[in-house]
Amino acid sequence: MLTLTSVWTTILLAAAVALGPLATDMYLPAMPQIGSDFGTGTDQVQLTLSLYLAGFAIAQLICGPLADRFGRKPIMIGGFVLFALASLGCALATNIETLQVCRFLQALGGSAGPVLGRAAIRDIYTPREAAKILAILASIMAVAPAVAPTIGGVLVTGLGWSSIFIALGAYALIMAVVVAYGIPEPMRPEYRQPLKPCALLKNYRRIITDVSFLGYSLTNAAIFAGLFAFLSGSSFVLIDFLGVAPRHFGLYAACVVAGFIIGNLTAVRLGRNLNTDQILVRGLMVAVAGGATMAILAYQEIYNVWAVILPQALFMIGTGMVLPQTMAGALANFPTMAGSASALFGFIQMALAAVAGGLVGHFHDGTSLVMASIIAVCAAIAMACYLILVQRHPAPGFEPQGASSR
């Protein structure tokens, strides 16, 4: 079994966390085909994505406290098994309603990987170190959304969309075995929390009333909502509106993910000389520029693939700089209840993302205008949350990243 600080432990945690983006990104090229097969509209197909996020958000509030009581590993393993069973249900679905229900159940299990992966990083590292590790982890994890749409496009073209869910279920089972036998339990025994309703409510109340936590969480959630607005609308915009072949969809998605990786690596490099506040504001400025550019091009009716992909790649550079800092900042004050803090953080993140995805599906007009507008608004909200909350109430325990080198 690996040591907690081993680079392979970080890689395996990244693989566990990657189940979340795999479950959203791999089936994006199949969404138009699912709508055609079930004879339903864009809004109902998109609802399978929003319901996944809603289930993901709700489940985190449960698995976080459970992990604070029983440890990270058993909850993560149980979540992967549930995810695999729900994936089989998705593959066998014969109507859109069944697929929606199974996607919700899939999310209940899939939430364990991301929420407990973040908590495990906080268990192992200090807040300053965690920001760097989360950025590295995010770069590794970004391989999943880079290759997932391409794999999904090949599967839907050759074997049909149900094969995507079979592949996801198999991945979850493999990760259950890897976590069981490859990673030690990262949580210290003395940090275990009682599993009592009053204690849970008290913990959540303490966390949500921490202005620093709220600021980092809302900044993160707003920028993530912009990312999810793109995930919700990109397949319909690129495939249905702009005529991209499903098998080529993943190539354009890889360009967007490349932006995210560049942002992550930039954050790591800047962390040698700049503090978290300086990295955050630079990332937010880049994200706002990307979102505004896409919206302006759409309002000018400049409709082509690169008018969507290039601004979104710029937005993702900013996103890659912002997400690791806000994750580490939100968890910095809660070393003894990192599972609950990570769960509440994830709930806020996914709830706002579900709203953004729902708005894209509801108001989609057949062009890129709605998607681009929502991405731009999300970036602006993230900047406002930073200026109003984070800048005024930084996490007291969140040391500048360059402090150790001075």
Distance in angstroms (rounded) separating the CA atoms of residues 73 and 252: 36
Distance in angstroms (rounded) separating the CA atoms of residues 185 and 151: 32
DSSP result, 330-365: HHTT-GGGHHHHHHHHHHHHHHHHHHHHHHHHHH--
pLDDT in tens, 57-106: 888 788 777 877 777 788 888 899 999 999 999 999 988 999 999 999 99
Are the C-beta atoms of residues 144 and 89 closer than 8 Å to each other?
no
Distance in angstroms (rounded) separating the CA atoms of residues 177 and 171: 10
Banded model confidence at residue 396, pLDDT cuts 50, 70, 90: low
Question: Which domains are present in the chain?
Answer: 7-186+194-394 (1.20.1250.20)
pLDDT in tens, 19-58: 877 887 788 888 888 888 888 877 788 888 888 888 888 8
Residue in 62, 71, 85 with CA at minimum distance from that of residue 166: 85
Q: Under 8 Å CB-to-CB from 7, ≥6 apart: which residues?
A: none
Residues 217-241: what's their mean pLDDT? Answer: 89
Residue in 87, 336, 377, 387 with CA at minimum distance from that of residue 226: 377
* 94-129 residues labelled b (16+ CB within 10 A) or e (exposed): eebeebbbbbbbbbbbbbbbbbbbbbbbbbbbbbbb
Q: Is 324 exposed, middle or buried (0-12, 13-18, 19+ CB in 10 A)?
A: buried
pLDDT of residue 403: 36
Distance in angstroms (rounded) separating the CA atoms of residues 73 and 60: 15
Q: What are phi and psi of 320, to 5 degrees?
A: -65, -25
pLDDT > 60? residue 124: yes
Are the C-beta atoms of residues 174 and 16 closer than 8 Å to each other?
no
Residue with more model confidence, 299 or 158: 299
Are the C-beta atoms of residues 122 and 115 closer than 8 Å to each other?
no
Banded model confidence at residue 398, pLDDT cuts 50, 70, 90: low
pLDDT of residue 366: 83
Percent of the chain past pLDDT 70, that is, above it, reads 88
Are the C-beta atoms of residues 133 and 7 closer than 8 Å to each other?
no
Banded model confidence at residue 402, pLDDT cuts 50, 70, 90: very low
Q: Under 8 Å CB-to-CB from 269, ≥6 apart: which residues?
A: none
Q: What are phi and psi of 322, to 5 degrees?
A: -85, -45
Q: Tell me the whole-structure pTM to 2 decimals.
A: 0.73
Lowest mean pLDDT, pick from 90-94, 186-190, 303-307, 371-375: 186-190
pLDDT of residue 347: 84
Banded model confidence at residue 388, pLDDT cuts 50, 70, 90: very high
pLDDT in tens, 132-168: 676 666 665 666 666 778 788 888 888 888 999 999 9
pLDDT of residue 404: 34
Residue with more model confidence, 5 or 310: 310
Banded model confidence at residue 401, pLDDT cuts 50, 70, 90: very low
pLDDT > 90? residue 194: no
Average pLDDT, the chain: 83
The dihedral formed by the CA atoms of 269, 271, 277 and 279, expressed in degrees to the nearest 10: 0
Residues 181-194: what's their mean pLDDT? Answer: 73
Q: Under 8 Å CB-to-CB from 363, ≥6 apart: which residues?
A: 370
Residue in 219, 216, 220 with CA at minimum distance from that of residue 207: 216
pLDDT > 90? residue 379: yes
Residues 219-230: what's their mean pLDDT? Answer: 92
pLDDT of residue 127: 64
DSSP, res 366: S
Distance in angstroms (rounded) separating the CA atoms of residues 379 and 360: 15
Other Cβ atoms within 10 Å of 400 Cβ, number:
18
pLDDT > 60? residue 372: yes
Are the C-beta atoms of residues 236 and 364 closer than 8 Å to each other?
yes
pLDDT of residue 4: 57
Banded model confidence at residue 405, pLDDT cuts 50, 70, 90: very low
Residue with more model confidence, 336 or 367: 367
Helices (H) and strands (E) in the chain, counts: 17, 0
pLDDT > 70? residue 1: no
Q: What are phi and psi of 142, to 5 degrees?
A: -65, -15
Structure tokens given for 293: 């550019």
Tell me the one-letter amino acid at 270.
L
